[in-house]
Structure 1
Amino acid sequence: MEYAENILGTIGNTPMIKMNTLVKGVDALVLAKYETFNPGNSVKDRMALQMIEDAEADGRLKPGGTIIEGTSGNTGMGLALAAIIKGYKMVCVISDKQSKEKMDILRAVGSEVVVCPTNVEPDDPRSYYSTSKRLSEETPNSWYVNQYDNPSNARAHYQSTGPEIWKQTDGKVTHFIVGVGTGGTISGVGKYLKEQNPNVKVWGIDTYGSVFKKYHETGIFDENEIYPYVTEGIGEDILPENVDFSVIDGFTKVTDKDAAIYTRRLAKEEGMFLGNSAGAAIKGLLQLKEHFTKDDVVVILFHDHGSRYVGKMFNDDWMRDRGFLDEEVTVAADLIKDHSDKPLVTVRTEELVQHAIERMREYKISQIPVEDHEGFVGSLDETALLQAYIKNGDIATVPIKDVMQAAFPIVKADATIDKVSNLITKENQAVLVELSNGKHHIITKHDIISAI
């Protein structure tokens, strides 16, 4: 009979899969190291188990202890599975940019989840780095994993992932490409492959808002490179000790939009339902295609499973809200189709200015059409209201008809985007579009910018 003693026995030995559709323009054999076949559905299972076993061996983790780690979700999952089998408590500290699915999954496997704000400095007490350290200091019999600086992270990939790739390619691998976060995967695999063949090229996939690429190229840690980004699992605003820049030949950066789009394309065109970092990785590979020849064997590693992103990259509304859906926008109706079902907010000429202000505040809008019994006769915007207030501090009790501006222009639903754009000027902040049902909707500068 063939069986594993427990779920941890199924970690590793993941398959290698040939890429087809998305790499048609690449002159090389492209193989995907498909890490979602690990029991926790990610590559992080490997290093999670290694870090725990090494900590047990040297006494840092004691029986009945509590494991505490800051994680983007996948490492937490791997640690949680091992904690279940080995009898430890698990506390995962996660940033609020991570998907709800990741948080729910961690709770489902018995972890306590502590959520921290994303957009704070690493040394801010609220960051998930600082919170993890604080909890480990406050919790008796606890062990702070610190995957970023824990050498067992890279060691796991040096001992397992690297040798598997070498064996599965019969030693013919010429390039290794992977997204870089903690640095364990690229450093461990890169070191092993280069020991077998120094000519193997190792490329890291970075994201805009992360420091890796510039630091690798210049040795400068540029804080101006750090800003919020959407892509999960790769990029950092710190330099983890696990990132061994000496084994990395170069980095390429991928935008949030491209990462999201290619995550969806992997599912629809290759049948590979994968996470956000996989989209970044395959787009990065395509950006590097001039480095490959027809005789090369390029291995790309895909970290995790798409089930953790169904509320994000695989959700049309989420993608649309961020301008990530490449939908054709050619006429006025296209600009407001996402909210055309909402009623047009207006005010009447005889209402007081305070009523317009209240409505603008309630609906979070900056301009509002004015109408009477015959139709649209004027408009108000926040700039005009401010100027009117400077002249008259009692403006709130003045009838709207006394301070309103000219009515917004009205266009048909099939008016071109250029026509709509030309109608929005310094003096005119919006355009009304007449829909097929006879109702009207408002188009603002925000709608046009979002379409761009």
Structure 2
Amino acid sequence: MDIKNNILETIGNTPLIRLNKITRNLPCTVVAKVDYFNPGNSIKDRMALKMVEIAEQEGKLKPGGTIIEGTSGNTGMGLALAAVVKGYKCIFVTTDKQSKEKADILKAVGAEVIVCPTNVAPEDPRSYYSVAARLAKEIPNSYHMNQYDNLANRLAHYETTGPEIWKQTDGKITHLVCTAGTGGTITGTAMYLKEKNPDIQIWAIDVYGSLLTKYFRTGEIDMGEVHPYISEGFGEDFVPKNYDMSVIDHFEQVTDKDGAVMARRLAKEEGLFCGYSAGSCLQGLIQLKDRLKKDDLVVAILHDHGSRYVGKIYNDQWMMERGFLDVKTFKDIVSSRAHNRLISVDPSTTVAETVELMKKYDIEHLPVLKDGEPVGSISENGLFNKVFSNPEIKNAAVADVIETTLPIVAFDTPIERISSLITKENGAVLSKDEAGNYHIVTKYDIIQSLTK
């Protein structure tokens, strides 16, 4: 029987999956090393377990001890899984840039999470690096893993990720593309692959706002390169000790927007629901397409799962607020129309007057407003059925034939969401603009906007 003794035995041996659509304009074959198949849904499970094992061997982590680490979330998850199996406590320090989902997941597996400000220098006592180091000194029987400078990080990838990729490609890999953060994944994997074939190209993908790219090119730590960025899980404002720049051939920077948009494309076009760094990794590769040849075999490492980012890059509102998503909204439809004034009726308006109004403006749906607020609606179909069955109803007030209030949405609601609200019962949707005025969008408005 093939039965694992615990969850830690399922770490590693993740699949290589060919990319077919996103990379169709590249001259070569591109495959993804999809490491969200690890039990903690990220590649960090590998190095987390290795750091724990080595800390145990060296006597730095003792029974009943507390694991302390500064993490963007994924390393914490790997450490937490090891802690659950091995009986340790965990305290993780993260930044306010990281998604709420990451912190919630860490708490779900029993960890304590402390959130620190992002935009402070690493040596600032408020930074998550400093807080983690301080807690390790203050808490008895604790150990700070320090994934940035702990060489067990890159050792894990030298021992597992590199050999797996070499074996899975039958040694035919020509390029490794990987986002650069702590340096463990790219350095450890590169060290192994370069031993097998020194000609394999190692391309590191960085983010604008990180100093790693300039450091690679010049050897200079230039804090002038550092500025806030939204991308998660890679890029640094210092150079971790896990780096060995001699095994890396090129650094390429990617914008926050391009990485986020590409991650969404991976999900929609390849069925790979991945995190921010995966999108950035693929975007970086595409930026370097002119360096590739027909017979090349590129392996791109996709670090983690998209579930960590459902409140961010997979949230339309979050994307639009940052200008990352070019989608049409309720506001766009209203702005594109020649006449924006809302045609409405009062509950006391007669049915006959309402019919004339609908004829005059050639509209099928009218909101019913009382004191400026929606209290119901009138539809052409609804009126037709009522007047057909009782012609005398034309003298009645709208209040006597009123239908349900139309759905009300935010003024920046995407067209896709509006479309899902328009049904046989609800032929239109309302929204209030910044000035407090209501507007209406019908199915015909949506069709017209999409065909322009």
TM tier relative to shorter chain: 0.7 to 0.9
Change (3 A) 1:59 1:303: same
Determine if the alignment matches structure 1 residue 327 to structure 2 residue 309.
no
1:166/1:173 contact within 8 Å kept: yes
Aligned position for 1:12: 12
Q: Deviations over 1:393-452 (max 9, x none)?
A: xxxxxxxxxxxxxxxxxxxxxxxxxxxxxxxxxxxxxx99998669xxxxxxxxxxxxxx
Measured in 2, the distance between the counterparts of 1:332 and 1:437 equals 12
Measured in 1, the distance between the counterparts of 2:41 and 2:245 equals 27
1:333/1:435 contact within 8 Å kept: no
Aligned position for 1:282: 282
Amino acid at match of 1:42: S
Partner-residue secondary structure (3-state), 1:22: coil
1:38-77 paired onto structure 2 within 5 Å: 38-77=38-77
**How far does residue 220 in structure 1 lie from its aligned partner after superposition?**
1.4
**How far does residue 328 in structure 1 lie from its aligned partner after superposition?**
5.6
1:359-378 paired onto structure 2 within 5 Å: none
Amino acid at match of 1:196: K
Aligned position for 1:116: 116
Q: Deviations over 1:220-273 (max 9, x none)?
A: 111111011000001000100001111000111110000110111100010000
Determine if the alignment matches structure 1 residue 163 to structure 2 residue 183.
no
Partner-residue secondary structure (3-state), 2:260: helix
TM-score of the aligned structures, taking structure 1 as reference length: 0.74
Amino acid at match of 2:47: M
Q: Deviations over 1:325-372 (max 9, x none)?
A: 02369x9767799xx9xxxxxxxxxxxxxxxxxxxxxxxxxxxxxxxx
**How far does residue 49 in structure 1 lie from its aligned partner after superposition?**
0.3
2:334/2:439 contact within 8 Å kept: no
Change (3 A) 1:231 1:334: farther
Aligned position for 1:359: none
Measured in 1, the distance between the counterparts of 2:160 and 2:292 equals 26
CA radius of gyration, larger in: 2
2:175/2:200 contact within 8 Å kept: yes
**How far does residue 219 in structure 1 lie from its aligned partner after superposition?**
1.3
Amino acid at match of 1:229: Y
Measured in 2, the distance between the counterparts of 1:130 and 1:71 equals 12
Q: Deviations over 1:2-55 (max 9, x none)?
A: 011100000000000000100001111101001001000000000000000001
Partner-residue secondary structure (3-state), 1:23: coil
Q: Deviations over 1:360-394 (max 9, x none)?
A: xxxxxxxxxxxxxxxxxxxxxxxxxxxxxxxxxxx
RMSD after superposition: 2.2
Partner-residue secondary structure (3-state), 2:22: helix
Amino acid at match of 1:77: M
Aligned position for 2:414: none
Q: Deviations over 1:60-93 (max 9, x none)?
A: 1111100000000000000000000000001110
Amino acid at match of 2:99: S
Sequence identity (%): 60
Structure 1: tracts of 5 or more residues without a match: 341-430, 439-452
Aligned position for 2:177: 177
Measured in 1, the distance between the counterparts of 2:332 and 2:98 equals 35
Aligned position for 1:297: 297
1:134-153 paired onto structure 2 within 5 Å: 134-153=134-153
Partner-residue secondary structure (3-state), 1:182: coil
Measured in 2, the distance between the counterparts of 1:320 and 1:334 equals 18
Q: How many residues align?
A: 346
Measured in 1, the distance between the counterparts of 2:335 and 2:88 equals 53
Structure 2: tracts of 5 or more residues without a match: 341-433, 442-452
Measured in 2, the distance between the counterparts of 1:321 and 1:284 equals 24
Amino acid at match of 1:327: V
Partner-residue secondary structure (3-state), 1:163: helix
Measured in 1, the distance between the counterparts of 2:127 and 2:95 equals 8
Q: Any runs of at least 4 consecutive aligned residues in structure 1 with deviations exceeding 3 A, and if so which? A: 331-337, 431-438
Measured in 2, the distance between the counterparts of 1:311 and 1:291 equals 35
2:30/2:297 contact within 8 Å kept: yes
Measured in 1, the distance between the counterparts of 2:141 and 2:241 equals 25
TM-score of the aligned structures, taking structure 2 as reference length: 0.74
1:44/1:75 contact within 8 Å kept: yes
Amino acid at match of 1:192: Y
